[in-house]
Structure formats: C-alpha cells, structure tokens
Amino acid sequence: MTKVFCDIADIKSIKKFTKKKIVRGFTTNPSLIRKAGAKNYSEYCKNILKITKKPISFEVFADDYKNIINQALKIKDWGNQIYVKIPVTNSKGIFLGKAIKYLNSKNIKLNITAVYTARQTNQILKKINKKTKLIISIFAGRMADKGKDPIPEIKKSIKLAKKFKNVEILWASVREPYNYLQANQVGCQIITVPPAIIEKILGYNFLNYEGPLHFASRDKLIKEKKILSAAIYMNAKEDNKIYKEIIKDILCIAPEYGKKIARSIFQKDLKCGNIFMNLEEPPIKNNKIILDSNNKDKFNIPRIKLFYKKSNESLLTAKNFLEEFANFCIEQDVGRIALKKNIYDLKSFENMGGYHHLGGTRVGKNKLNSVVNESLRVHEINNLFVSGSSTFFTGGYTNPTYSIIQLSLRLAHKISDDINS
C-alpha cells in the first residue's frame, strides 16, 4: 500500500501528525521552513528531529555542485532518519547527475525532487547503486496544473525503478484526496500530502466517513495473487440494529470499553458502514441463456432459462482482495475488518449477484461462439446490429454505462459512414 508522508515544516503540525499512524514520514523544503518562521535553517531542522523519529527529507538550497555536496554532507549528519533532498536539475536546467552519483556512492539517502518525466527517472537510475535508499519525487500535481496527465509518466517511472529494490517512487504536489487513491492504484510507494488533505484522507475511515470510499485492485496485486480485477466500496450508514449488536458483544467481553463505545455512538463519534465488493466475471462456457420450450408465457412464447454459476477464480479473487483490503485498513490505521466465517464458502458465495445484465449476444470473430462481429453486426445478417452490454464477453468490476455509451457512439459512426459511403 502507498505510504503517506506529510508535507509540512511547521513544528506544531509535525507534533500533531507524527502521532498519527497513517503518517509514515515527512517531507519539507526551504520555502516551507521559511514560511514556518525559521530564522536559522539548521537549528530549525534539528528542532524538528527532536519531535519525530519518522523518515524526513531536508532539502539543500545551493545551486552548484560544490555547495550542494557540502550542504548534503552536513544535513545527513543531523540524524539517521534523514533523506537529503536534491532537485533533479539546478536553476539553469542542468541535470545534477554528478552530485546524485557522488552522494549515493557515499551511502547517503537521497530524495530527488522536482522530477517530471520518466526520462529524468531513467537518468537518475543510471547514476545510483542498488543498495542505498533513494526516493524519486514526481511532481504529479504540477504536471496536471499544466494540462498534462501525470499517470503515464509515473507508470513508466515505476516500471523503470522495478529492478531497484532500494528506490521508491513518490507522488508529489498533491492537489486533492483522490490523488491518494490514484497513487495507490498505479503502485506509487509513497505520496506526500499537505496536512489539510491528510485530514480528508483520514475521513476514509468507514467509522466516520460521510461518503463512499473506492478501493480498487492494482495491476501488481492482480499479477502477484493471480486474481481478477475488483473494487470495494464503503458507505457510512446509520443503523441502530448494528450499533446494538456491536455494543452487546463488546459489553460481554470488556464492559468498561463497551460503555465507552456506547458513549461514542451517542455522541455520533462512531458510525457503522456497509462494504460492497464488485468482481470481474471471467467468461464461463456453461453460463448462458436459452429459450425454455417447456416454460411459455401467455402468448405461447418460450421464456428464457438462465444457467449461471460463479467460478473458483471469482472466489479466489474475493478471498485475496478482501484480505488485501483488511491489511490496508490496518496499515493505514483506518479500522479493522472482521470477515464472517462462511465468507469464503462457495455455496454462500453463489447467492451473491450484481445489478447489470451482461452477455447473451457476445462479440467475436467466430459465429460458432459469438453473436455479433467486432462491428456489432449480427453474423450473416447485414442489416442487424446489437449495441449494449449484451455484447460483453466478460463483466468488469466497474459500472458498464460508459462502455455501453462508447460502443453505441462507435456503432452510430460506423452506420453513418456505411450510409454515406
């Protein structure tokens, strides 16, 4: 899971956030330290180190090789948890590869900041060893501010750094809480977040969150666990019945703690919630719809007969993804997930279903195992087209509406082109 660092230099705020388990470290810069009222840079930074033992980045403010090296050597001596922060280029746009290489060779932990491209990431990786810890901070927010999607560059950087176990990719210049979810989904090891946005992220705790939380599987998890794609949604919900059951159970085990929980509920400091999980559905040959000649409606038309069964692959996905989500809640200190004993029982799992009707006229090139071709034209019927979720050959974990719209627009353009040609 993506670690959360707090991007702050104010001593009062650091005292507050170092106590929060979700905050795994801190990043600072000379501007933040000056804004916090520091008169002496080194003395102020050393005072911060008296407050927290978590990893923290302090930046050099020199612009030339010699002074960068001198400042970096002094900063690293302030404490073992320090990452020396160095921009990837100086004020003239010159790559600081020489300084990066030298400091890395001296086993100094570095945070290379103001990175915008995977090309810069590659330049950095060519200058370092595979032992000394190093963070590469990619300015995702500033890229987005200029109208550029940061995700492709971050994904490329993560892929490039994969062979370096000592390197972590950090999502920097955060603009909104959603960036935290994005960083987690693409596989960033760290995201550095201003205090105000951390407070909002903490709201993802389903015990006090006012809206839905979306937690989706990442490519890395899918490959490692060999599972399908999936997503979990959480909603806070007022439910007195749930509250009563919680209190009753806790009072039996720990009466004093139970009374405390009861007071929290009364004061509305505690909320219960529902957890929903959506899974990708793999294609299963025996899942089908046929016309049932033995069961007809009042017009003597055969009713449909549904054959549907979930796969062991779906069950494995549910099991692994729920456990991953439970671990996420523990790591981020947002709550604890208690899973029912029969949650992994395939028989009970069969009763779970969704809301979207998918498949039935699946798309494909072969008329023996599909109904429509890639243009959504029914095989061997030139003037008949089908557009909708019935053409899907598998069901994704997300709402299919936008895919249906896109397919319909594509088909409309195709028919229009055919008419006008």
Catalytic residue among 76, 85, 271, 310: 85
Task: Read off the pLDDT of residues 130-147 as tens digits, 9 standing for 90 and up.
Answer: 999 999 999 999 999 999
Contacts 24+ apart (CB under 8 A), 396-405: 396/229, 396/280, 397/216, 397/217, 397/228, 397/229, 397/230, 397/231, 397/278, 397/279, 397/280, 398/231, 398/278, 399/356, 400/356, 400/358
Q: Which of 96-100, 214-218, 249-253 has the lowest mean pLDDT?
A: 214-218
> What residues does each domain of the chain span?
3-201, 224-349, 355-421
In our burial notation (b when 16+ CB lie closer than 10 A, e otherwise), range 359-380 reads bbbbbeeeeeebbbbeebbbee
Query: H helices of 21-117, where?
Result: 30-35, 41-49, 65-76, 97-105
Compute the mean pLDDT over every residue in the chain, rounded to the nearest whole number.
85
Reply yes or no on whether the pLDDT at 274 is more than 90.
Answer: no
Q: Report the 10 Å Cβ neighbour count for 185.
A: 18
Task: Read off the pLDDT of residues 8-59 as tens digits, 9 standing for 90 and up.
Answer: 999 999 999 999 988 999 999 999 999 999 999 999 999 999 999 999 999 9
**Between vectors from CA 204 to CA 142 and to CA 342, what angle results, nearest 5°?**
135
Which pLDDT band holds residue 206 (cuts at 50, 70, 90)?
very low
Distance, CA of 205 to chain centre? 15
Question: According to the per-residue pLDDT averaged within each range, which of 16-20, 124-128, 225-229 is highest?
Answer: 124-128
85 is catalytic: yes
Higher pLDDT among residues 75 and 267, named by residue = 75
Give dist(CA 7, CA 192) in Å, integer: 6
Q: Using DSSP, state whether 231 is helix, strand or coil.
A: strand
CATH superfamily to which 3-201 belongs: Aldolase class I (3.20.20.70)
Tokens (6 digits) for 3? 């670690």
- Average pLDDT in the 225-242 region? 70
Distance, CA of 194 to chain centre? 18
- Average pLDDT in the 116-135 region? 97
Whole-structure pTM value: 0.57
